[in-house]
Amino acid sequence: MSEWAEVRYKTTDFYSPEWERTLLWNDSDVGIDWPVEKGGNPLLSAKDQEGKCLSEADVFE
């Protein structure tokens, strides 16, 4: 964790909200050990609160 971070997104086309998907931040299948105290509640956007587990993700073929 740091006081400062830079995030970059690589895209292949213009932004299309209808194709946007959000992964649930604490999905146990992903296995990220977030530094959140047990019982703590991180500050999340409404979109991030509505994320889905990887096992429920849409599959594009």
Q: What digits encode the pLDDT tens for the residues 6-55? A: 888 777 888 888 888 899 999 999 999 888 888 888 889 999 999 999 99
Per-residue pLDDT, 30: 93
Whether 46 is covered by a domain: the verdict is yes
Whether 5 is covered by a domain: the verdict is no
Q: Output the pTM of the full model.
A: 0.65
Question: Half-sphere exposure of residue 58, counting CA atoms within 13 Å on the CB side?
Answer: 8
Range of the domain at 47: 16-55
Whether 7 is covered by a domain: the verdict is no
d(CA 53, CA 51): 7
Q: Please state, as a whole number, how many other Cβ atoms lie within 10 Å of the Cβ of residue 22.
A: 13
Per-residue pLDDT, 7: 83
Number of domains in the chain: 1
Q: Please state, as a whole number, how many other Cβ atoms lie within 10 Å of the Cβ of residue 25.
A: 14
Whether 33 is covered by a domain: the verdict is yes
Per-residue pLDDT, 53: 95
SS3 49: helix
- The set of residues, in sequence order, having a beta carbon less than 8 Å from that of 51 and lying 6+ positions away, is 22, 23, 24, 25, 27
Per-residue pLDDT, 56: 93
Per-residue pLDDT, 18: 87
